[in-house]
Structure formats: structure tokens, C-alpha cells
Amino acid sequence: MNILAFLIPVSLILGGLGLLAFVWSLRAAQYEDLEGARHRILSDDHDDAPMR
Amino acid sequence: MTAACACGGIAAVPASAAEARPDILIHLPTIHCAACIVTAERTLSAAPGVLSARVNMGLKRALVTTDGTASALDLCTRLEAAGLSAQPLDAATLGQGADHAGRDLLMRMGIAGFAMMNVMLLSVAVWSGAAESTRQLFHLISAAITVPAIAYSARPFFDAAWRSLKAGRLGMDVPISLAILLATAMSLAEIVTREGHVWFEAALSLTFFLLVGRYLDQSCRRAARSAAAELSALDVPTATRLGADGPETVPSGALVPGDRIRVLPGQRLPADGVIEEGETDLDRSAMTGETEPAAAAPGDEVRAGETNLTGALVVRVARAGQDTQLARLASLVAVAETARNRHASLADRAGAAYAPLVHLLAAASFAFWWAWGGDAWQALGIAIAVLIITCPCALGLAVPAVSVAASGRLFRAGLLVKSATALERLSEVDTIVFDKTGTLTTGTPAIAAAPGGTALSVARALAEGSDHPAARALARHARDRGAEPATVEARREVPGHGVAGIWGISTVRLGRASFTGAEEDGRSGMWLHIGGSEPERILLKEMLRSGAEDAVAALKANGYRVLMLSGDGALAVADTAQRLGIDEAEGGLSPEDKVARLEGLAAEGRRVLMVGDGLNDTAALAAAHASIAPGTGLDAARSAADVVLLTGSLLAVPEALRVAKAARARMAQNLWLAAGYNAIAIPVALVGLATPLLAALAMSTSSITVSLNALRLSR
């Protein structure tokens, strides 16, 4: 059962990373224009800064 | 270029592009692909004064941040030149900034979802037999995740419950909050006593699913609200004021009594006033429903909302802004509208029946088990299990999920649902009342009968000299018949009367009866007078809106009672009614008459859907059980209506009724489904056999079933 002492923190940290990624994406306005995002991927211009 | 300078950090620029808020909004109705986005953004960024520009395709809108020197109109001109149609939006009407409420809910949802998944994983280990210290450790970790997650995520429910308790009501939020709080507190206590069930994941999944429901509900309303606000923001009324230093363009709201304004043909009057110079015909159909334009000359009173048709006017403003008759009538409607907000929605009624039941069941099971078993702690555990299992997780999703699916489907059909209860009210309708002018008909006339031959050639030559809708219809009619314009000299338009000219040696005139020397007989039309001969009549008919005939036929076939109430003359009304196959039609009605007719129908027990576009319909739109206004109508009519018709075709009306009925049926189905799951789970909980595993299963399966059932509607 000692393996738990190792695995539980690992799973929590991984989950926490996912949560952080979600919080970041929300803060960075990644959900503001889902319609446009699927078209922008076809454009040649590099573009990663949605307007808040 | 300017954008590059700003990034370079020149001191003159107050804020960097990243910090500044977009200050110009532009509506881009036609963008649909990646190329459009790129074109729009490049065009806008290249314009002087623009710091940055971003297209939001979902909203069909460009957000432009400027240094204050760029004008919205200039940017639109540039976009038009690049091949994109563009209109400036009034940022003040739309309200600035992103959607904070939606983002806030999304964040709470994310946190609750994350916590739910992790705690669920730990719980699965406990349920499958983890014991002793492992079990205790897992419970402690679960508690460490759950308590902060609940404290943050479930705040909207706690706040709402607190508000409704203070108001002395027992809304749905009270049992929800109670279940979440008690489950968490009870689980913490169980950790200390090391026995019994731990309900952390139940509390979290309850929070999560209910937040999903809230978010759907909120995003549906927001989409409708922003689209409706956009319609208003699109026609920001402006006026040309003749100031001391020449004409200037000002917003209509900035006019004050005593100002002199110029109104060109084709423009809507921005304020009430008196004509100082110029003669014209005025289109009053938006105000009264009359199709026949009225002649106006200096000294005549004009009102905001009327359209100037033929001659340029100078008007001295008598009342402006909120004092105009238009604005006062519109605000009367806004007051009347609150009456309809009392409509109890299906979800409200279900909640009202459910909330006391939940409390009663939980309290009864507590009392029974305490009295029978004598163990208060065990009794409390069972009561909490009952509360959690009965908690209306699926109930919270049942109605919003259907609303989202149905509104999305209607939006694709060209209908914008503005009000939250509109779908339910539409589904209850059994009688449909149409306005005529601007709703069933387009408001532009067509020619019913006209002389042919040379007379038509002369008529075409005269008609091309005027912007009057009847003249334009005549010119179109002659062109279609292949009549070449005759050579008419000295052609001049006499606004308010007609067009005159000289053809060969004879004087020719086209226009009103009095202008051409004919007898007025009350039927709509115009007259052509050539030289010494008798004036000839040119009969007008109204153009029906596309799909009007089919829509009326479809509605009648579906068993709806269809009526037409119009402010126009009785002859014109009877004619249109006959062409459309409407048996019950009435003309010459004032706005009050229309409301009285609707009240009469309501007194007969009829649920009326009013479809209308003008100011004279606005009170009726607000008084009806449900209402639809065409997007081409007056702003006042659009804001009074529940549903706005964005397409030109009236066929969307039967479609709206059909979808509303389907949606209503689906909502009821969903509520019964949710109740069905409870009917199975509650007895189990009451006898004390409920486990966290059972609660989790019941909650997720019922929520998913209900969502999938709602989704079936969107296809």
C-alpha cells in the first residue's frame, strides 16, 4: 500500500494541472468565439490572442 | 502601422493595445469563412488610428480598439470597399465588456467538475472495499478537495436560497442548498466517527449537474438578449441639424425643441415637429397601419417614426427624445409588458410542487426512523440520503436543455426567441392575429391594373421622376411590360401631389385625384391625365410578404383560428384578407381597438398569438398571450414582442408554433423522466438502503437521459 503515498499525489497533481489549464483557457478568453476558432485554424496567419 | 507603434511603447499612447478595451463595435452580417475573418482584420488593422481589431464570428461582430481618432463610419466604408457589408453598432446600447456572468458560471462548473472527478475516483476505491486506514485516508483527501470546491462552486445556489428564504419563499434553491450543505457536514462528521456513508461525491455531482443546467439557461438567455440588443444598436437614429454653422449630424437623442432639422426623402423623422419648408408625402404606416401616404405641407405637424417619401423637408422640432409621441407610446408598452412576466413557467410549477415534497419526505423519514429506531444519528443519515436522492438534478436540466435545443433550432429557421417563457406560451396558442401592413404585406405597393400602350410609356416617363413608392411600382410595372419611356419634357415633381410634365404638345400629370382633375372615391390608386382626355385610373394592390399565403393556409390547416386586425381602410383590408383566405378581418382599428379585440378574444378563453410590426400594434403585441414581430418593424414593436422574425418569410410562424409545441412536450417528458428516476430511488432511500453509489448512479443516468432527450429536438 506504500505505492499509494506516491500515486495519490501524482494523480492529484495531474488533475490540478488540468484544472490550471482550464482556468488559464477561461481567463485567456479561449471560449469567447468558438465559431471563429474553427475557421481561424485554416488561416495562414499565426494567431493565438483572442480579444478579452 | 499604428499598432506597431503602440507596441513599441511610445509614451504618447496612454495604454498598450493589450490593456485597452475595444471602443468600436462593427456588425458584420455576412462573414462566414476564414478568408472573411482575415480580410476584415487586415482591413481594420491597416486603417489609421486602429490599435487592434478582432473578429468574433459567433457574434458576427468586429471589436476594434482605437486611439480615439478612427471613426466607426470610416472603418465601415473601408470594410465595404474590401467587399464585406458592415454597419456600426452602438456600443452604449449593447453594453460594454465580455460576458462576466457566463464566464463566472463556467469557472464554477470547471472547479466542480474537476473536484467531482477526483473525489469520484477515490470513492470508487472506497465502494470497492478499501478499509481501515486506506479508507480513512481517502475520505480525508476527499474532504480536503470537496470543502473548498463546494464553498466556491455552490455559491450561486446558497445566495439564491438565502434570497428566497429572506423573501419568505421556498424555491428550488433551498432544498438544493440544504442537500449540498447537509451532505458535506454529515460526511465530515462520519469521518470523525469512522462509520456510515460519506456523501462527498454526491454533493459535488449535484453541484456540477445543476451548474450545467444554470449555464445552459444563462447562455440561452444571453444569446437572445445580445441579438435583440444588436437589433436596437443597429439603427441608432441620427438627425441632420441645421445649426448656426451649417448642417451637422447628431444623434436624435441630442435634439432639443426649437432645433431645425433637415429630413431627406427616404429618411425616418427623428422627432415630433412642424414643417417649415418643403412639401412631401409621409408614410405613416408604421404608426397607424395606413398604407396610403399622406400629403404634408408647411405648417403641418409631423411625428417621429413617420417616413418622408418624396420631398426634402425642414422641420422645427417641437418634442424630441423621450417626449416624442413614439417614445411615450413605447414606454407605455414597457409598463404593460410586466403583466406577462407573471406567466408561471413549467419549471417554476414543477419546482413549486417539488420543493415542499422534498422537505416533507426528508423530515418524515427523519421523524420515523428516530421514533422507531431511537437513533437520531442514523435517522439523520437516512433523511440526508432522501434529500440527496430526491434533489432535482435532472429537474434543473430538464427545461433549460430543451430551451437551448429549441431556440437553436428556431434561430436556424430565422426566429429569435427573446423571452424565457416564450416557447411555453407559444405552445399554448390557439388563435393567431395578424396585422396587415408591414406584416402580411410588405408595405410597398404593386400595380393591379394600369392602362397599356402609349399611356403606359408616358406614365413610365413620369413615374421615373419620383421616389414615391407608388410611382416606383408603376415604373417597375411599365419596365416589366416592355413600355419604353416616352419623351416627357419639363418634368417636375410636386411633393404631396404627383409628377407633371409636357409630352409633345399636351400637359401630362400623374398623381393624386385632386392633382389630375379626377374624382376621389376612397380606393387606393393614382391617376394619369394626358392632355384634354379623361384621367385614367391606375389601381394599386399590396405586395404580400413572401410565404404569407402558405403560412396562413398552413395555420388554418393545423386548426388555428386566423384573424386580421388592421389600422388600414376597410376596402384594402378586405382585399388582402380575400387574397390570403382569411375569413375574419377588420380594418380601421386604432391601437386601443386592437387591444380591445385581443382582450375580447382572451375573455372568450382564447390564447392569442399577435404578429405585428408597427407602433399601432405595439400595445397589442404586449397584451397578447405571445407575440412575434418582423425584424423590419419598429424598434418598439421588436422590443414588445417575444419572438423576432429575422427572415423575410412568414412561413417561419407555423414553424415556430410547431417547434414550440414539440419543445413543450419534450419539457413535460423530461420532467416526468426525472420524476420517474426519483420514484424508483426514493423508496430505497426511505427504507434506509440508499448508498452513495446508488445516489451517484441515479443522478448521472437521469441527467444524461434528460439531456439526450432534449438534444433530439435540435435535429
User: What does the pLDDT look like over B282-330, one tens digit per residue?
Assistant: 887 767 767 777 888 888 888 887 888 878 888 888 887 777 777 776 6
Nearest to A42 among B34, B63, B103 (CB): B34
Task: Give contacts of A4 with chain B, Cβ < 8 Å.
Answer: 134, 137
| Per-chain mean pLDDT for chain B | 81
Say which of B217, B259, B435, B613 is annotated catalytic.
B435
What does the domain layout of chain A look like in residue ranges? 2-41
A29 near B CB under 8 A: yes
Nearest to A40 among B37, B65, B114 (CB): B37
pLDDT at B392: 64
Closest residue on chain A to B96 (Cα):
A52
CA dihedral A10, A13, A17, A22 (to 10 degrees): 120
CB–CB contact A51 B33 (8 Å) = no
Residue B14: per-residue pLDDT: 40
Band (pLDDT 50/70/90 cuts) for residue B266 is: confident
User: Which residue from B548, B519, B540, B516 is spatially nearest to B529, judged by alpha carbons?
Assistant: B516
Residue A36 contacts B, CB cutoff 8 Å = yes
Distance from CA of B194 to the nearest CA of A (A): 20
Other CB atoms within a 10 A radius of the CB of residue A21 amount to: 11
Task: Report the gap between the CA of B233 and the closest CA in chain A (Å).
Answer: 20
Closest-CA distance of chain B to residue A2, Å: 10
Q: Considering all CA atoms of chain A, what is the largest pairwise distance in Å, rounded to the nearest integer?
A: 53
Closest partner CB to B58 (pick from A15, A29, A33): A33
pLDDT at residue B28 in the model: 81
Long-range contacts of A24-33 (CB under 8 A, 24+ apart): A26/B103, A26/B106, A26/B107, A26/B110, A29/B98, A31/B103, A31/B106, A32/B56, A32/B58, A32/B98, A33/B55, A33/B56, A33/B57, A33/B58, A33/B59
Of A10, A33, A47, which to mutate for an interface test with B (greatest number of B Cβ within 10 Å)?
Answer: A33
Subunit contact A36:B107, Cβ cutoff 8 A: no
Who among B22, B37, B137 is closest to A36 (CB)?
Answer: B37
Q: Is the pLDDT of residue B510 over 70?
A: yes
Q: Is B117 on the interface with A (CB under 8 A)?
A: yes
pLDDT above 90: residue B150: yes
**What are the pLDDT digits (tens) for B60-99?**
788 888 887 778 878 888 888 888 878 777 666 565 445 6
Round to whole Å and give the CA distance between B176 and B157: 7
Distance from CA of B71 to the nearest CA of A (A): 20
Task: Please identify among residues 4-23 of chain A the ones whose CB lies closer than 8 Å to any CB of chain B.
Answer: 4, 8, 11-12, 15, 18-19, 22-23
Mapped to the 3 state alphabet, what secondary structure does B183-217 carry? Answer: HHHHHHHHHHHCCCCCCHHHHHHHHHHHHHHHHHH
Q: Residue A47: is its pLDDT beyond 70?
A: no
Asked whether the predicted pLDDT for residue B707 surpasses 50, the reply is yes
Which residue is it, cell 433550432? Answer: B409
Q: In 3-state terms, what secondary structure has residue B24?
A: strand
pLDDT for residue B229: 65
| Contact call for A26 and B38, based on CB within 8 A | no
Q: Quick check: helix, strand or coil at residue B170?
A: coil
Does the pLDDT value for residue B12 go beyond 70?
no
B435 is catalytic: yes
d(CA B312, CA B586) in angstroms, rounded, equals: 35
Compute CA distances B60 → B43, B56, B349, whole Å. Answer: 16, 6, 37
Q: What is the pLDDT of residues B591-640, one digit of tens each?
A: 788 888 888 998 888 889 999 887 778 778 878 888 898 877 777 777 77
Contact residues, B window 529-558, toward A, CB-based 8 Å cutoff? none
Residues 6+ apart with CB under 8 A from B223: B407, B411
pLDDT at B334 over 60: no
The answer to whether the beta carbons of residues B652 and B426 sit under 8 Å apart is no
Enumerate residues 6+ apart whose C-beta is below 8 A from B323: B272
Q: Strand order in B24-27's β-sheet?
A: B50-56, B61-66, B24-27, B87-89
User: Are the C-beta atoms of residues B436 and B586 closer than 8 Å to each other?
Assistant: no
Alpha helices by DSSP H, B9-131: 34-46, 72-81, 91-94, 100-127
C-beta of residue B397 within 8 angstroms of C-beta of residue B347: no
Contact B118 A15 (CB under 8 A): yes
Residues facing B510 on adjacent strands: B499, B528
pLDDT of residue B362: 87
| Chain segment B551-583, per-residue pLDDT in tens | 999 999 999 999 998 888 788 888 888 888 888
Percent share of chain B, pLDDT over 70: 89
Domains and CATH numbers, chain B: 2-89 (3.30.70.100), 238-335 (2.70.150.10), 404-440+545-662 (3.40.50.1000), 444-542 (3.40.1110.10)
Name which of B230-244, B474-488, B496-510 the model is least confident about: B230-244
Does residue B157 have a pLDDT over 80? yes
Q: Which three cell numbers stand for residue B302?
A: 409631423
* Residue-wise pLDDT tens digits, B421-462: 788 888 989 999 998 888 888 877 888 777 877 888 888 888
Q: What percent of chain B stands above pLDDT 90?
A: 8
pLDDT of residue B344 exceeding 70, the answer is no
**A42, closest residue in chain B (CA to CA):** B34
